[in-house]
């Protein structure tokens, strides 16, 4: 890091006791801030096995700030810390060099994601300046078990309606506390909340630089969605979707193969020239949450496809995933060296951790090596990732979203 000024401090713990975890992470942060610096605000991500009330109560008292924003995490990532056991707790504390941002919290996701999004968008339109970066976190889990998700695409559509054309850089995630998607929550700067969305409007002098990584490749020709209802996909080219997908796995008979769909395949929609060369950044992919052998349907993580959408079946390739992380992380880092980055934020789909993907290498470890050894890094494993993609911010699946932050000295 070129700038020796301490702007961000990172603290972590994997203590199973929530109070001890908060104490350990907070003490690590306090030892990094010297010369009387005070903490302005924090990002906090908390494994699903912790008691979030105990965590935020102890962090607030030890760090002397009430502005704790973030939520549940399947695991967390820092420059020298990585795990998904559910006991991870990681914090980024910002010194008063970065003033406390405007924080907007909206309840009511369970009553309608679109409506909550419109409210959030309208409040962002009133609060943010054109081009500002906004961090956005929402509670992913509507109910469980079985897991029923809040639909991020509905939320984002509502936000854009409420913004009424104002251009913002929206980066964030849907939070989840474990791989079983059994529960979730957010911290909105004041308290723990369910069925809510929180936005952090960063000061205008902070500039964000984002790259998106996935590593999925198409393994089918283009197909047309011929029957779909929300996130439940019934038919591709007039055939039961489940039949089409299981055939792609090379087994037409065994029902047990459907258990492996979410590990192997995604549904991808290519934007731009459909016949152009392969470019992973042109695809929006959707994970498969569940299947229904009785009616031949599959449940997707999002509900933004419709009848007539042209999609391809995509293979989740661990080798390409790792290559994508190495290439895009390096390119992003090299592109902003003259701008003096001071903080890195990595939102990583939980399906990419090796406990789920089966990869021999933790792909987040490559981000640690490329970026986390150079500047403060905070990351977490999420349910859904949100990032600028193909002209607007979208909810994404099986992606790693890396953002590097710099300061525009003329505005600060």
Task: Tell me if 309 sits within 8 A of 347, measured CB to CB.
Answer: no
Q: Looking at the predicted structure, is the pLDDT value of residue 208 above 80?
A: yes
HEC states along the chain? CCCCCCCEEEEEECCCCHHHHHHHHHHHHHHHCCCCCCEEEEEEEEECCCCHHHHHHHHHHHHCCCCEEEEEECCEEECCEEECCCCCEEEEEEECCCCCCEEEEEECHHHCHHHHHHHHHHHHHHHCCCCCEEEEEEECEEECCCCEECCHHHHHHHHHHHHCCCCCEEEEEEECCCCCCCCCCEEECCCEECCEEEEEECCCCEEEEEEEECCEEECCCCEEEEEEECCEEEEECCEEHHHHHHHHCCCCCCHHHHHHHHHHEEEEEECCCCCCCCCHHHEEEEEEEEEECCCCEEEECCCCCCCCCEEEEEEECHHHHHHHHHHHHHHHHHHCHHHCCCEEEEEEEHHHCHHHHCCCCCHHHHHHHHHHCCCCEEEEEECEEEEEECCEEEEECCCEEEEEEEECCCCC
In this prediction, residue 1 has a pLDDT band, given cuts at 50, 70 and 90, of very low
| 120-150 CB burial, b ≥16 within 10 A, e <16 | bbbbbeeebeeebbbbbbbbbbbebeebebb
pLDDT at 106: 98
pLDDT at 254: 45
Mean pLDDT of 278-304: 90
Reading the block at residue 169, the tokens are 């850089």
pLDDT in tens, 353-411: 887 777 788 999 999 999 999 999 999 999 999 999 888 999 999 999 999 999 987 66
Q: Looking at the predicted structure, is the pLDDT value of residue 204 above 50?
A: yes
| Torsion of Cα atoms, 245 then 250 then 252 then 254, to 10° | -100
Mean pLDDT of 65-92: 96
Q: State the average pLDDT for the chain.
A: 92
pLDDT at 4: 46
Reading the block at residue 72, the tokens are 């549940």
Dist. CA 78–CA 150, nearest whole Å: 28
pLDDT at 183: 94
Q: Looking at the predicted structure, is the pLDDT value of residue 249 above 90?
A: no
Q: For the chain, give every domain's residue range.
A: 8-213+320-407, 216-316
Q: Looking at the predicted structure, is the pLDDT value of residue 255 above 90?
A: no
Share of the chain above pLDDT 70, in %: 95
Q: Looking at the predicted structure, is the pLDDT value of residue 36 above 70?
A: no
Q: Looking at the predicted structure, is the pLDDT value of residue 244 above 60?
A: yes
pLDDT at 275: 87
Q: 155: Cβ–Cβ under 8 A, 6 or more apart, which residues? A: 109, 113, 114, 116, 117, 120, 138, 197, 395
Reading the block at residue 119, the tokens are 């409210």
Q: Looking at the predicted structure, is the pLDDT value of residue 251 above 70?
A: no
In this prediction, residue 257 has a pLDDT band, given cuts at 50, 70 and 90, of very low
pLDDT at 258: 46
Mean pLDDT of 309-322: 91
pLDDT in tens, 162-193: 999 999 999 999 999 999 999 999 999 989 99
Mean pLDDT of 25-41: 87
pLDDT at 404: 98
């Amino acid at each position: 890091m070129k700038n020796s000024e301490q702007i961000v401090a990172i603290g972590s713990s994997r203590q199973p006791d929530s109070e001890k975890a908060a104490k350990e992470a907070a003490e690590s942060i306090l030892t990094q801030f010297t010369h009387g610096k005070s903490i302005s605000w924090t990002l906090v991500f908390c494994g699903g096995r912790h008691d979030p009330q105990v965590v935020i109560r102890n962090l607030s008292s030890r760090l002397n700030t009430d502005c704790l924003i973030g939520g549940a995490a399947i695991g967390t990532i820092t420059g020298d810390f990585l795990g998904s056991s559910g006991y991870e707790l990681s914090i980024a504390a910002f010194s008063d060099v970065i003033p406390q941002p405007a924080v907007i919290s909206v309840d009511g996701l369970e009553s309608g994601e679109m409506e909550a999004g419109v409210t959030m968008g309208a409040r962002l339109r009133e609060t943010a300046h054109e081009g500002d970066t906004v961090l956005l976190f929402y509670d992913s889990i509507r109910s469980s078990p079985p897991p029923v998700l809040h639909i991020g695409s509905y939320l984002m559509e509502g936000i854009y309606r409420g913004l009424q054309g104002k251009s913002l850089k929206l980066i964030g995630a849907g939070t989840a506390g474990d791989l079983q998607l059994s529960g979730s929550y957010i911290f909105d700067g004041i308290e723990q909340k369910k069925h809510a969305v929180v936005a952090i409007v960063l000061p205008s002098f902070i500039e964000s630089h984002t790259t998106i990584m996935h590593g999925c490749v198409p393994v089918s020709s283009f197909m047309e969605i011929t029957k779909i209802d929300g996130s439940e996909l019934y038919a591709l080219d007039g055939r039961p979707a489940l039949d089409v997908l299981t055939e792609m796995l090379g087994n037409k008979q065994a029902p047990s193969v459907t258990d492996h769909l979410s590990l192997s395949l995604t549904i991808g929609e290519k934007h731009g020239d459909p016949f152009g060369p392969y470019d992973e950044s042109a695809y929006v992919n959707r994970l498969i949450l569940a299947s229904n052998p009785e009616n031949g349907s599959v449940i997707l993580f999002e509900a933004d496809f419709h009848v007539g959408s042209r999609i391809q079946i995509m293979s989740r390739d661990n080798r390409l995933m790792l290559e994508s992380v190495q290439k895009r992380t390096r390119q992003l880092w090299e592109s902003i060296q003259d701008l003096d980055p001071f903080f890195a934020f990595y939102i990583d789909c939980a399906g990419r951790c090796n406990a789920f993907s089966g990869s021999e290498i933790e792909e987040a470890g490559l981000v640690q090596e490329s970026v986390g050894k150079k500047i403060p890094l905070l990351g977490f494993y999420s349910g859904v990732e949100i990032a600028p993609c193909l002209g607007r911010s979208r909810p994404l699946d099986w992606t790693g979203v890396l953002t590097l932050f710099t300061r525009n000295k003329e505005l600060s």
